[in-house]
Amino acid sequence: MEFAELIKTPRVDGVVLHRPFMPTVEGTLCLTGHHLILSSRQDTTEELWLLHANIDSTEKRFVGSLGTIIVKCKDLRVIQLDIPGMEECLNIASSIEALSTLDSVSLMYPFFYRPLFEVIEDGWQSFVPEESFKDLESMTDEWRLSEVNKDFSLCPSYPSLLTVPKDIDDESLCKAASFRHGGRFPVLSYYHKKNAMVMMRAAQPLTGTNGRRCKEDEKLINATLCAGKRGYIIDTRTIAVAQQAKARGGGFEQEANYPQWRRIHKAIERSNVLQDSLIKLVEACNDQSHSMDRWLSKLEASNWQSNVKEILTTACLAAQCIDREGASVLVHGTEGTDSTLQVTSLAQIILDPACRTIRGFEALIEREWLQAGHPFQQRCAQSAYSNGKPRSEAPVFLLFLDCVWQILRQFPCSFQFNENLLIMLFEHAYASQFGTFLGNCVAERGKLQLSQKTVSLWSWVNRPQELERFLNPLYEPNNLVIWPSVAPQSLLLWEGVFLRWNRSTKCLDEAYQEMVHIIEYNKELQNKVNSLRRQLAQLETEDKMVADLK
C-alpha cells in the first residue's frame, strides 16, 4: 500500500492554526505519509510537525465554506485548523483519519525514520537480560537464567531468558507455566540486597472452580523462601474479583496448598475501568468554565487520583513486606501484564536507589515493562480522546508514570531525573519516531525486527545533549528506601501532563531556571574554591621545601 493513496489532498494554502499559548499561524498545510505539517514559510514562527500516530481523534465543523478541523492528540493537546474550502477540508479530514488509524505496525513511522544524529550507543543493546543477571550473580547464587522460553512457546509474552530459582529445573517450569494464565509462571522481579528477600511476579493461577493445584508451582515459589520464613502473595484484585475469575478458569492460591504464604488482596482497577477514568479526568481538566464545586466533583468522579492512590499503596505494601517484614513477595493480578507490573516497578523505585538514576530507570522500564510483556501497542493505541468502541486501550503505563511523579515530588532530591523524562516517556509510549514501544512483547518485537529496522528511544535519550534536559539539578544520591505518603492530601494532580495545554508554565519554568542557576553557581564556586585550595596547598609545600633547604 502506498501512503499516496490515502492522501487525497497533499497541501492546502491559507490554513490557520490555533495552538495553546502560541500565536495563531497562517500557512501551508502539508500531509505526508507520517506527518501533518503546517508552515508559514517564515523563520519567525515555529512550524508544526505532528505525527499522524499522535492523533487520537478529529472533529470537523463548517461555517459557510470555511471548515475547521479540531485535532485531539494522544499527548492531550488540542489544536484547531481552519481550512478554506469545504472540499479541501473534507479531504484533509478523511486523510488524517485514515493515516492516523493505520493497522499495520510495519507502516508506522519508526520504520521510516532515519536519525539525524549519530548513534553512539545502540539502545537496543543497552539493557540485555544477561547483564542484569550478572549483577544478580554478584549478590547471590540462588538463581539461574533459564532458556526454557527460548522460542516463546512456553509463554508468548515472556522474554526468552528468565530468572528462576536455581533448584527448579526447566521441566518443572513447564508444568508451572501450564498452571498460570498465559503461561506466566513466577519469575524473579527484584532481589533486595539488604536482606536477601525477593519479589516475584506471575499471572493468576488456573485453579478454576474445582480448585486445581500444581505441585511444581508450589515448589517453585516455596524455593524462594528461607527455612521457616513466610512470604506474602499480593493479589492486585479484590477477593470478589479473584473469586469471579475462578469461573473463567482463573483464581488464586489456596491457603491449604501454599501454607507458607499469606495472601493479601488489593483493589487496583482493571484496564477498561482505567481508560474510562482517564477520559473523564481529561474532560474535567479541559473545561475551564467549571465552578470550584463542579471541578472538584468531576475530579473525584473521574477516580484518577483514587487509582493513583491504590496503585501506590499496593506498591508500598509490597516494599514494606520486603524491607520491613523481611519477607519475600509474589505479585500477580489476572494476566500479570498490567497492575502486576505497576506494583513491581514502583516497589523497586521505593526500595532500590539504582532505579532512581536515569540509567536505572530506563533499565527498570526495559525489564519490568517491555521485556515483562506489557502490551504497549494495545494499551497505547488510543488515549483520552478515543471515542470509538474501546478495545484494549488503557493508561496503565501513564498511571505508573504518574505514581513515579508523585514519589519524585515528595522526594525532589532523590531522583537523578526530572519530570521531563516522565512526560517524554508518556509521549513516546503513545506516538514516537523510535521503535522501543512498538509491539506487545519481546517475541513480537523480534518478529518485527525492530532492533534492525528502527532506532531505540534509549539511543536518543542517552546522548549527552539530550540527557541534560532530563537531569534533576537537586539530585543527591540517597541510598535509603524512600516511603512515599499515600494520604490523599499528599497526592496531587499531575499538572505537567493533565494541565500542560491548559495553562502557561512561564512562571514555573522561570522558577526551574532559577533553581538550576542557584545550583550551577554553587558548583562553579566549589570548583573555584577547590582549585584555590589546591594551589594554596602546593604553595605551602613549596614554602616548606624552601624552608627545609634553608
Partner 1 sequence: MEHIRTPKVENVRMTDRLTPRKSTVGTLYLSSTHTIFVENSEARKEIWVLHSLVYNVERLPTNPSGSPLIIRCKNFLVYRLLIPQEKDCLDVLASLTRLSRPERYGELFCFSFNPNLDKELREKAWGFIDLKAEFNRMGIPSNLWHVTAANHEYRLCDTYPSELFVPKSASPAVIVGSAKFRSRGRLPILSYFHRDTSASICRSSQPLSGFSARSSDDEQMLQAIMKSNPVSELMYVVDTRPKLNAMANRAAGKGYEIEDHYTNTKLQFIGIENIHVMRNSQQKLIDVGELVAPSMSDFLWGLENSGWLKHIKAVLDAGIFIAKAVAEDGVSVLVHCSDGWDRTAQACSVASVLLDPYYRTIKGLMVLIEKDWVSFGHKFSHRYAHLDGDPKEVSPVMDQFLECVWQLMQQFPCAFEFNERFLIQLHTHIYSCQYGNFIGNCQKERRDLRLQERTHSLWPHLWENRAEYTNPLYRTDHSQTQGVLKPLTTAYCFKFWKGMYGRAEKSVASHQSPADCLNVVREESQQLEEELSTHQEVPRETDAGQETCPTEGEENFRGEEDQQAV
**Angle CA(60)–CA(499)–CA(472) in degrees, nearest 5?**
135
Which of 294, 391, 447, 469 lies at the binding interface for partner 1 (CB under 8 A)?
294
Size of the site for partner 1 (CB under 8 A): 58
**Min CB(342)–partner 1 separation in Å:** 17
CA–CA distance, 456 with 466 (Å, rounded to integer): 14
Residue among 6 and 471 whose Cβ is closer to partner 1: 471
- 204 makes contact with partner 1 (CB under 8 A): no
Which of 95, 149, 189, 305 lies at the binding interface for partner 1 (CB under 8 A)?
305
CA distances from 330 to 7, 262, 474 (A): 51, 10, 34
**Min CB(481)–partner 1 separation in Å:** 13
- 125 makes contact with partner 1 (CB under 8 A): no
Q: For residue 342, which of 413, 279, 271 has the smallest C-alpha distance?
A: 271
CA–CA distance, 494 with 463 (Å, rounded to integer): 27
Show the cell assigned to 437. 514501544
Cβ-based burial of 321 (10 A; exposed 0-12, middle 13-18, buried ≥19):
buried
Q: For residue 484, which of 388, 430, 406, 549 has the smallest C-alpha distance?
A: 406
Which of 1, 227, 487, 549 lies at the binding interface for partner 1 (CB under 8 A)?
487
CA–CA distance, 486 with 410 (Å, rounded to integer): 10
**Min CB(101)–partner 1 separation in Å:** 31
- 545 makes contact with partner 1 (CB under 8 A): no
**Min CB(240)–partner 1 separation in Å:** 18
Instruction: Annotate 258-310 with DSSP letters as a single string.
Output: -TTEEEEE--PPPHHHHHHHHHHHHHHHH-TT--HHHHHHHHHHH-HHHHHHH
Which residue type is seen at 158? Y
**Min CB(97)–partner 1 separation in Å:** 31
Q: What does the buried/exposed string (b/e) look like for 69-94 if buried means 16 or more CB atoms within 10 Å of the residue's CB?
A: bebbbbbbbbbbbbbebeebbbbbbb
- 141 makes contact with partner 1 (CB under 8 A): no
Which of 4, 196, 240, 508 lies at the binding interface for partner 1 (CB under 8 A)?
508
Judged by CB under 8 A, the stretch of 20-28, 61-69, 287-295, 371-379 that binds partner 1 is 287-295
- 315 makes contact with partner 1 (CB under 8 A): no
Residue among 253 and 419 whose Cβ is closer to partner 1: 419
Torsion of CA 75, 80, 83, 86, to 10 degrees: 90
Which of 113, 133, 295, 501 lies at the binding interface for partner 1 (CB under 8 A)?
295
- 248 makes contact with partner 1 (CB under 8 A): no
- Type and span of the H or E element at 426: helix 419-430
Instruction: Enumerate residues 6+ apart whose C-beta is below 8 A from 549.
Output: none
Residue among 162 and 299 whose Cβ is closer to partner 1: 299
Instruction: Annotate 199-221 with DSSP letters as a single string.
Output: EEE---B--TTTT---HHHHHHH
From residue 35 to residue 74, the character string flagging contacts with partner 1 as x (rule: CB under 8 A) and all else as - is ----------------------------------------
Residues 457-476 that bind partner 1 (CB under 8 A): 474, 476
Residues 520-539 that bind partner 1 (CB under 8 A): 521-522, 525-526, 528-529, 532-533, 535-536, 539
**Min CB(295)–partner 1 separation in Å:** 4
Judged by CB under 8 A, the stretch of 9-17, 291-299, 337-345, 457-465 that binds partner 1 is 291-299
- For residue 16, which phi and psi values (nearest 5 degrees)? -105, 130
- 290 makes contact with partner 1 (CB under 8 A): yes
**Cα distance between the two ends of the chain:** 91
Residues 398-427 that bind partner 1 (CB under 8 A): 410-414
- 481 makes contact with partner 1 (CB under 8 A): no
CB 361 within 8 A of CB 353: no
Residue among 225 and 519 whose Cβ is closer to partner 1: 519
**Angle CA(324)–CA(338)–CA(365) in degrees, nearest 5?**
75
**Min CB(153)–partner 1 separation in Å:** 43
CA–CA distance, 320 with 309 (Å, rounded to integer): 16
- 273 makes contact with partner 1 (CB under 8 A): no
CA–CA distance, 335 with 330 (Å, rounded to integer): 14
Judged by CB under 8 A, the stretch of 230-238, 335-343, 390-398, 497-505 that binds partner 1 is 497-505
CA atoms within 13 A on the CB side of 363: 22
- 283 makes contact with partner 1 (CB under 8 A): no
Residue among 469 and 523 whose Cβ is closer to partner 1: 523
Which of 104, 210, 288, 465 lies at the binding interface for partner 1 (CB under 8 A)?
288
Residue among 187 and 311 whose Cβ is closer to partner 1: 311
Residues lying near partner 1 in the complex (CB under 8 A) are found at 285, 288, 290-297, 299-300, 303, 305-306, 308-309, 410-414, 474, 476, 484-485, 487-493, 499, 502-503, 506-508, 510-511, 514-515, 518-519, 521-522, 525-526, 528-529, 532-533, 535-536, 539-540, 543
